[in-house]
Amino acid sequence: MAGALIRKIIHVDMDAFYASVEQRDNPHLRGKPVAVGHGARRGVVAAASYEARQFGVRSALPSVTALRQCPDLIFVPPRFDVYRAVSQQIHGIFAEFTDLIEPLALDEAYLDVTENRAGIETAWLTAKAIRARILEETGLNASAGVSYNKFLAKLASGRRKPNGQFAIQPHEGEAFVEALPIAKFHGVGPATAEKMHRLGIHTGADLKAWSLSDLQARFGKSGGWYFNIARSVDQRAVNTSRERKSSGSETTFNEDLRDADAIRQGVLAMADDVWAWCEKSGRRARTVTVKIKWADFQQSTRSRSLAQPVVGRAQLHEASLALIDSVLPAPKGVRLVGVTLSNFTVDLAKVEAEPTLHLESDAA
Ligand SMILES: [Mg+2]
């Protein structure tokens, strides 16, 4: 890896985020098994508190099954507006330490602290300081993974959950990845994991035994990525342009969702983000696109072009809901939803006043 840049990356991940927010805001829920989601006959668990997890209650579990496993389970409906507000608070805390922030979901982000604003010497101590600030300001626990690239930092953050942190040092990366089951690799979805299992690839060490050309022959463009991560090489920079307030906004749910109301709320939250951007930038657009990434990593998009630009938040809500409703009830779990506006009518005066806005949409 001569000449390769060694970064200091932290992956911060809130613990049982939705459920923890509910327990924070309602003292009656503390210490009890809580499921965020709808307890109705066709409902599905969106997130579970640690108390509920002890009974095997997990995301995507049908509510009836969850109740059978844990008769005292308390269902609370999701409040995405609150989760978004907490997420913004957390991002404010990240910004006290670095500008290089890449949000992955409401409760998860990569931070590059190679040079950190607080002048803290190590990434380990920086992660501790960030987690302490999050607890102080939000009353919530976060876990963190610390390493020299994003791939390893994300793997590390799960190792000491809840309320812990774990580091993978540069000399430890290769051994860590060699021992790792292939299904745990970020970027290896269930379908790819199955294909790898059929090829006899079960761990990072198995993957490492494959040549670049063989991997490319079997997996196409992804072959290069698999070749690199088998050696714990990941040169991706923390991508700060993944700004939430842009013409496109998307979120990966904490847990795959099937509940129609929860999915619709997620879409509305993204529409709100996009509308906030419209108001700030003075841009208006005619085409609304809703993107859905399913639990099996397949993707669907639904678009609708209006005769006139969208002029208000309610109108964007209405268009976005009509689009998401066209794929509901969800035939499988929903991993991610996004809302994007395109076909702009340009307001040049306002655009010039906001030269740093990112106008590219994820759908591009
Ligand atoms: Mg989390």
For residue 59, how far is its CA from the centre of ligand 1 (angstroms)?
12
Among residues 22, 102, 108, 255, the one annotated as catalytic is 108
For CA atoms 4, 239, 92, 78, give the dihedral sign: negative
User: Cα(330) to centroid of ligand 1, in Å?
Assistant: 23
Ligand 1 centre to CA of 32 (Å) is 19
Q: How far is CA 28 from the centre of its chain?
A: 29
Q: How many residues does the chain have?
A: 364
DSSP 168: -
pLDDT value at residue 4: 53
pLDDT at 354: 32
SS3 content of the chain, % helix, strand, coil (to 5): 40, 20, 40
- Do 35 and 66 form a contact (C-beta atoms < 8 A)? yes
Given a contact cutoff of 8 angstroms between Cβ atoms, the answer to whether 334 and 292 are in contact is yes
User: What per-residue confidence (pLDDT) applies to 2?
Assistant: 42
CB 254 within 8 A of CB 339: no
The alpha helices in the chain, defined as continuous H runs, are 17-25, 50-53, 63-69, 80-95, 123-138, 150-157, 173-178, 190-198, 204-208, 212-219, 222-229, 260-281, 313-325, 348-353
* DSSP-assigned letters across all residues of 113-158: -SS-TT--S-HHHHHHHHHHHHHHHHS--EEEEEESSHHHHHHHHT
User: Rounded to the nearest 5°, which phi and psi values hold at 127?
Assistant: -60, -40
Distance of CA 116 from the midpoint of ligand 1 (Å): 23
Cβ atoms 87, 270 nearer than 8 A: no
Task: Report CA(255)–ligand 1 centroid distance (Å).
Answer: 9
Whole-number Å distance between alpha carbons of 264 and 267: 5
108 is an active site residue = yes
What does the CA dihedral 131, 106, 16, 68 come to, rounded to 10 degrees? 180
Question: 295 with 332: CB under 8 angstroms?
Answer: yes
Looking at residue 349, its pLDDT comes to 36
Question: How would you write the pLDDT of the chain (364 residues) with one tens digit per residue?
Answer: 444 568 999 999 999 999 999 999 999 999 999 999 877 776 778 889 999 999 999 887 888 999 999 999 999 988 888 988 899 999 999 999 998 999 887 889 999 999 888 888 899 999 999 999 999 999 999 999 999 999 999 999 999 999 999 999 999 999 999 999 999 888 787 888 999 999 999 999 999 999 999 999 998 888 998 999 999 999 888 887 654 446 888 888 877 889 898 899 889 888 988 887 887 666 778 899 999 999 988 899 999 988 888 888 888 999 999 999 999 999 999 999 999 998 877 543 333 333 333 322 233 2
- Residue 72 is given by DSSP the state T
pLDDT at 246 (0 to 100): 60
Between the alpha carbon of residue 75 and those of residues 55, 183, 192, 264, the distances in Å are: 14, 30, 34, 18
d(CA 223, CA 339): 30
Q: Which domains does the chain have, with CATH numbers?
A: 175-229 (1.10.150.20), 246-344 (3.30.1490.100)
CA of 343 from ligand 1 middle (Å) equals: 35
> Could you list which residues have their CB under 5 Å from ion ligand 1?
13-14, 17, 107
**pLDDT at residue 138 in the model:** 98
pLDDT at 237: 87
DSSP state of 181: B
Backbone angles phi and psi of 182, in degrees to 5: -60, -30
Distance of CA 206 to the CA centre of its chain: 28
Alpha carbon of 214 to ligand 1 centroid (Å): 35
Q: Judge whether 108 and 244 are in contact, CB under 8 Å.
A: no
> Terminal CA-to-CA distance of the chain, rounded, Å?
34
How far apart, in whole angstroms, are the C-alpha atoms of residue 109 and residue 131? 13
The token duo for 360 is 């590219």
